Structure 1
């Protein structure tokens, strides 16, 4: 089935959903679709159900009795016949499987966490009916459970959960990558695309619903665009970063979680640094860190040159922007003084938001640019002789080859608003020598300078220069 014209991109996700929903053979199938809010999950699944004549049931935060009545109404629309009043899901699930027998169709339960909240036993009921002797054995339903509470959805198929091992599809709908986001926003200027992505990331709804198609016309319009959209106290984006955290059901102490995110956004990327920033012991923030990881709001990345070290970064650009720019000026922003706040915050925006963000984009670029790349990340190279450490922003390692030294394909440094010259290349060469002494294979290592401001040096046989335009080429 062809993807509808109104669904932008998402070719891979659409193909997987259609393949799952149209799979032939007797017996109901189960799939799980998750992803943070605003990524277009419902958009995709509504289009799938409509195109294949399936069932789409959007759950609400209501009691079990009300949910069952609404579900019965959906079955009436689907079958065109009366449906009995369901006492509970033990009645409703077998009836659903009995009603879907003639052909494979999708049956979508959207916002499934709402149903679990009112009926915690529902996953067990579905598991029983999908199992041997259950009503799903003779059904052709292709059940898709969808939800935005990532910690809840991630738990559906993990550990000893009832549905573990039952799903034939487990899909996470992620934000658009930086190139897709630029195309979606219709931005052709690479520098402008980076700045916009550093604020709103790749979440589709932020353009369509939240700013109602308001796109900065050029670089000169960017500052005004920030003021009239994300810093506008009457705008939909203004409180969005707070709501992203509030939507996660496992969060009981929002102030602690906001503090953890603020610590990471402020450059405290280790668990010890985060604990010190928020005034807690390391063991007291272990659970918040795990929940934020499960919620896809934090990402944990290891140091490629010191495997026992790891770092955290905020996964959602809007949260970084909120913590670095908005949280400390919240009262003035609520009073409508956005222009003054932005004038005083722009330097911090470039250093704390855009600087780290462009490093992430360069790592994404490097991963897709080198076919031999097995792992891309960052790391620190200790330089004992000079009593310093060399930060490598973009390190590209080849796939591990057992029994042989790990090959380093590239070592890179990133600067957004500084011209890069011979001193940057010299630092990378020093890092390469130190890594050679540590046992890495650096014979073919390319030193790469990524710059948004240009270069005062020329490319050599072992040096590559990458511009912002190259990232989007």
Structure 2
């Protein structure tokens, strides 16, 4: 099946475009349903508008409105599409859906309803209405080749749309989540070639495309020396849309009703409290009080739960949107000053410790895990990783425990998961033999515990600041020691 021409201005999104065009041009008889979701500002609307333009489809963007107003608005949009002299009048959404199915009587036609959660909140019966309209052996459905696409940014709502006993469960022929750009694509998109600067930028704005185009108006750091000035021009400037964006991200989620509570949870996490107990202590709450807010933040895609790879009953929580971490770690403590100062440079300089400790350090560790899981060459680990995470190893003899930033497991033919590697990631420290000795000690502890593969696990040293000559010499003579600098996380450079 030939794909529709890809818009020249589209960056990446090859997989998403291929999936959408394949769905939209499918010539099979019968109408079909697709669901497109993703956090805000990822380019979903751009993708779907481009799809409708390329395939002659119908695009409708819902707004927050009453059910009656939305019926009137979509009637007007359909009338314009059909060239009718007056808006079409619909009594209910059953008639609307049948009219949308009628658009595909002659050929496959993509029909997009963007911001679908707005409509469903005004009329909770809408998913059931669509389910009934797409029922097999129904003439309106069988005689149509409409490719109906429901799109939304409310991740908690969209996640429930096809789950469990939801009306549309089992009805969708396409379920597409549009992700943020990974750190490699984000560096290319922002045009940042210095790897350390690329990591710094990614630690603030992540991989959200709109933050460069619409929010920063293509203002990117000209080089390492321009990074601080870029922060002041963009995210720390009250005149920039990036300044308040982190607050709006929470306000956009309908399930986050008590925003003060959720901001406090996120502030705890941005301060380095990543366990349930640590968050509860920061907030002076009981751990059980956090079950609901943490679940809601997870469902909204704003927080991710990361199990300890060594302890089944322990998990840590990480903010999934870098801009929210930056807001709570750096901006929120000095918010009033940022709003009223004419020159934020001194405020930014005073915030460097928090930026390094609470933003850059944890983000660098996360990127190292991502690189190890998805991009590390096979020779780095000696095999392909099946699972990568972090964990804590007890050291009874020393009466302490060791935090391991990167832990990589493989998968053998017997479905066992051998330990391939353990690693440490440091942002600002030059790594030396002391770091290597700690990893060697952890490997010995894991071997003594009987962990499968621990005895031959490789030792991964990640550092954005570099490595001592002594460590480089040791690594050169021992293939089980791997050094990865900031440049090693990007495809155009090699491990340091």
Establish whether TM, by shorter chain, passes 0.5. Answer: yes
Distance 1:335 1:84, change over 3 A: closer
Whole-Å Cα distance in 1 between the matches of residues 361 and 236 of structure 2? 20
Q: Does 1:172 pair with 2:181?
A: no
Any residues of structure 2 matched to 1:426-441 within 5 Å, and which?
426-440=437-451, 441=453
The aligned counterpart of 2:494 is none
The aligned counterpart of 2:358 is 352
Give the 3-state SS of the residue equivalent to 2:241 in structure 1. Answer: coil
The aligned counterpart of 1:13 is 16
Give the 3-state SS of the residue equivalent to 2:487 in structure 1. Answer: helix
- Equivalent position to 1:253, from 254, 258, 279: 258
Following TM superposition, by how much is the alpha carbon of 1:343 offset from its aligned partner in structure 2, in angstroms? 1.1
Q: Does 1:376 pair with 2:388?
A: yes
* Cα offsets for 1:368-389 (capped at 9, x unmatched): 2145110011111111111111
- Equivalent position to 1:451, from 463, 472, 479: 463
Q: Contact 2:386/2:411 (CA < 8 Å) preserved in 1?
A: yes
Following TM superposition, by how much is the alpha carbon of 1:139 offset from its aligned partner in structure 2, in angstroms? 1.1
Give the 3-state SS of the residue equivalent to 1:144 in structure 2. Answer: strand
The aligned counterpart of 1:307 is 312
Following TM superposition, by how much is the alpha carbon of 1:215 offset from its aligned partner in structure 2, in angstroms? 0.6
Whole-Å Cα distance in 2 between the matches of residues 292 and 125 of structure 1? 29
Q: Contact 1:55/1:74 (CA < 8 Å) preserved in 2?
A: no
Give the 3-state SS of the residue equivalent to 2:314 in structure 1. Answer: strand
Q: Which runs of 5+ in 1 are unaligned?
A: none
Q: Does 1:442 pair with 2:454?
A: yes
The aligned counterpart of 1:94 is 98
Whole-Å Cα distance in 2 between the matches of residues 255 and 210 of structure 1? 25
Give the 3-state SS of the residue equivalent to 2:12 in structure 1. Answer: coil
Q: Which runs of 5+ in 2 are unaligned?
A: 492-496
Whole-Å Cα distance in 2 between the matches of residues 99 and 242 of structure 1? 40
Following TM superposition, by how much is the alpha carbon of 1:442 offset from its aligned partner in structure 2, in angstroms? 2.1
**Runs of 4 or more above 3 Å deviation:** 81-84, 400-404
* Cα offsets for 1:158-203 (capped at 9, x unmatched): 1211111111111111110000000000111111100100110000
The aligned counterpart of 2:404 is 392
TM-score by length of 2: 0.93
- Equivalent position to 1:139, from 130, 140, 144: 144
Whole-Å Cα distance in 1 between the matches of residues 310 and 104 of structure 2? 54
Any residues of structure 2 matched to 1:209-248 within 5 Å, and which?
209-248=214-253
TM-score by length of 1: 0.97
Q: Does 1:128 pair with 2:140?
A: no
- Equivalent position to 1:68, from 67, 71, 78: 71
Whole-Å Cα distance in 2 between the matches of residues 392 and 439 of structure 1? 17
- Equivalent position to 1:465, from 451, 464, 483: 483
Q: Contact 2:404/2:424 (CA < 8 Å) preserved in 1?
A: yes
Any residues of structure 2 matched to 1:247-326 within 5 Å, and which?
247-326=252-331
Following TM superposition, by how much is the alpha carbon of 1:257 offset from its aligned partner in structure 2, in angstroms? 0.3
Q: Alignment length, in residue pairs?
A: 472
* Cα offsets for 1:250-285 (capped at 9, x unmatched): 111100000001111111111121112112222221
Following TM superposition, by how much is the alpha carbon of 1:400 offset from its aligned partner in structure 2, in angstroms? 6.0
The aligned counterpart of 1:24 is 27
RMSD: 1.3
Whole-Å Cα distance in 2 between the matches of residues 72 and 53 of structure 1? 19
